[in-house]
Homo-oligomer: A and B are copies of this chain.
Amino acid sequence: MIGRLNHVAIAVPDLEAASAQYRDALGAKVGAPQDEPDHGVTVVFIELPNTKIELLYPLGEDSPIAGFLEKNPAGGIHHVCYEVEDIIAARDKLKEAGLRVLGNGEPKIGAHGKPVLFLHPKDMNGTLTELEQV
């Protein structure tokens, strides 16, 4: 069911410094910051040959990243995202297997304009897991 690893999201305390580090020290291809007001984040994509790293920084009040950075002031890996072909079929299969879907259980439109869901980290080995329909 799950397909490609779409991205690994890393919350960072300083988006400019993190972008510069990936670009200059690690020599990676780093995009421009994109504000995603609907998601309360500013994101920078690091394009690797086979997947992406998504740097996350809080945007506005009530950002879902703010609390994470309070607990992890140096930053940290926030979630992984797997691609699925049919997010409703995936959700129903995972719910049957006893996994909890966050929120009201309905897909939302994610930062890439595609339907996404998040699985409860406690049900996924402590790993916040996003599913994205591609």
Contacts and interface: CB of A to CB of B under 8 A. Distances in A.
Contacts of A25: 93-94, 97, 99
Contacts of A27: 1-2, 93
Interface stretch (A7-15, A33-41, A59-67, A100-108): A7-15
Contacts of A124: 21
Interface in A55-79: 55, 72, 74-77
Nearest to A7: B5
Contact of A48 (B26, B74, B82): B82
Nearest to A73: B126
B8 A5 contact: yes
Nearest to A96: B25
Nearest to A27: B1
B10 A26 contact: no
A39 to B, nearest CB: 19
Given A1-B26, A4-B51, 18 more contacts: A1-B27, A2-B26, A3-B49, A4-B50, A5-B53, A8-B80, A10-B125, A11-B126, A18-B125, A21-B124, A25-B97, A25-B99, A26-B82, A50-B51, A55-B125, A74-B121, A74-B126, A76-B127
